[in-house]
Amino acid sequence: MLHTLSPFLIEFPAGFPIPGIRWYGLAYAFGFVAGWLLVRRVAAAGKTPLSVADAADFAVATAIGVMAGGRVGYALFYDPAMLWTFTRSVPFWELLAIQRGGMASHGGMIGVLLAVGVYGWRRGVPVLHTWDLTAFGAPMGILFGRLANYVNGELYGRPVRDPSFPLAVRFPQELSPHTPLADGSTLAEHLSTYPGAASLVDAVRAADPLVMQAVLEHAELRHPVQLYAAAGEGLLVFLIVAWVFRKPVRPGLAAAAFGVSYTVIRMIDELFREPDAGVQTYFHLTRGQLLSAFLGVAALALGAVVLWRKKPRLGGWWAGAAA
């Protein structure tokens, strides 16, 4: 299978301030809306200090935490040079140049836990309960985010061992701009003749013979690990947390369930994901596996503390479930 999806839902003509409406941005919007609806459901059906109206403010806190934490986390974990790189073009600081990509899921988790924790502290809501609410909505955001990763042709998987593997995908995005073409030019030089921000995708969709030949020669058949992650880190983790949180629980238990289940599934997904170029591994673990291991240990510790403290139960989305 050849990846031919455009990163744009709508691409604007040349001269517009922005190139178009990207699926990646819509994925964040869909995730925040899904989280808002799920928190509303808990507020309407469960035992929680939050009202249905509070769900919107909670969603805003979540959005701030995810965006800030995801960007800062990417800089700290994968590209520290962002922190001290400044340019003469808007937004001047590389850390703020979100349009160029670069978000870390683990950073987003840290950011959102801090943001909703502050929200809960200011509203008199138990911090661990705000973490449970976040854990209930977060997997949907992860699901949409991983689907957007696939549409963008980024964070693709390792090469498949068997070329006949039915899910294998060839991603043109893995080609270097310096990839040589049959006419002696480079890929970047040839794509300069295509207008718009999605020139590589446009060339592939048009079955440009020079580009197609380069793709077949240099782009390997790979695991669509973004789809594995959407199903596992997104949908499966959501089902696990939803089952735990179907009735009121001791504050922090749903968050612990999220942390443990996400860790296990992410560790497996990383076995199929192409390691980030230039990012060091530790003890044969990728950066994602190492960060997930810390998350898993913290989640297990949180679960143990929650069960030991025996605080009053809160939450639950199923109105008919007993505490």
pLDDT in tens, 117-141: 999 999 999 999 999 999 999 999 9
Q: Encoding tokens for residue 51?
A: 């009202």
Q: Please say whether the beta carbons of 30 and 63 come within 8 A.
A: no
Q: Which residues are 2's β-sheet partners?
A: 170
Mean pLDDT, the chain, rounded, equals 88
CB atoms within 10 A of CB 18: 10
pLDDT band per the 50, 70, 90 thresholds, residue 316: very high
For residues 320 and 185, which has the higher predicted lDDT (pLDDT)?
Answer: 185
Amino acid in the structure at residue 182: A
CB atoms within 10 A of CB 207: 10
Residue 101 above 80 pLDDT? Answer: no
CA atoms within 13 A on the CB side of 196: 16
Question: Residue 238: left (phi > 0), alpha (psi -120 to 50), or beta?
Answer: alpha
pLDDT band per the 50, 70, 90 thresholds, residue 286: confident
Bond before 91 cis per omega within 30 degrees: yes
Q: Where do runs of H (alpha helix) occur along 54-126? A: 54-77, 105-123
State the Cα–Cα distance between residues 281 and 179, nearest whole angstrom. 27
Q: What is the pLDDT of residue 100?
A: 64
* Domain boundaries, given as residue ranges, for the chain: 8-159+223-309, 172-218
Q: What is the pLDDT of residue 109?
A: 84
Q: Which residues contact 268 (CB under 8 A, 6 or more apart)?
A: 232
SS3 assignment, position 271: coil
Q: Is 146 annotated as a binding residue?
A: yes
Report the range out of 64-78, 85-99, 126-140, 280-294 with the highest average pLDDT. Answer: 126-140
Model confidence pLDDT, tens digit, residues 149-172: 999 998 899 999 998 999 999 999
Q: Please say whether the beta carbons of 139 and 258 come within 8 A.
A: yes
pLDDT band per the 50, 70, 90 thresholds, residue 256: very high
Q: Please say whether the beta carbons of 210 and 175 come within 8 A.
A: no
Alpha-carbon radius of gyration of the chain: 22
Measured CA to CA in angstroms, residue 218 lies from 5, 156, 180 at distances of 19, 15, 10
Q: Which residues are 273's β-sheet partners?
A: 157
Model confidence pLDDT, tens digit, residues 180-232: 888 888 898 888 877 765 688 888 888 889 889 999 999 999 999 999 999 99
Residue 278 above 70 pLDDT? Answer: no
User: Within the chain, how many helices (H) and strands (E) appear?
Assistant: 11, 4
Q: Encoding tokens for residue 169?
A: 């995908």
State the Cα–Cα distance between residues 286 and 292, nearest whole angstrom. 10
pLDDT band per the 50, 70, 90 thresholds, residue 99: low
Q: What is the pLDDT of residue 130?
A: 96
Q: Encoding tokens for residue 103?
A: 């978000």
- Nearest one of 312, 303, 310 to 256, comparing CA atoms: 303
Residue 321 above 60 pLDDT? Answer: no
Name the percent of the chain lying above pLDDT 70: 93
Q: What is the pLDDT of residue 320?
A: 63
pLDDT band per the 50, 70, 90 thresholds, residue 259: very high
Residue 12 above 90 pLDDT? Answer: no
What letter would DSSP give residue 14? T
Residue 322 above 70 pLDDT? Answer: no
Q: What is the pLDDT of residue 96?
A: 73
Ramachandran angles phi, psi of 11, nearest 5°:
-105, 125
Q: What is the pLDDT of residue 90?
A: 66
Residue 43 above 90 pLDDT? Answer: yes
CA atoms within 13 A on the CB side of 154: 16
Name the percent of the chain lying above pLDDT 90: 53
Residue 21 parent element (H or E): strand 20-22
Query: What average pLDDT does this structure show over 63-84?
Result: 82
State the Cα–Cα distance between residues 160 and 162, nearest whole angstrom. 6
SS3 assignment, position 211: helix
Q: Encoding tokens for residue 288?
A: 């994602």
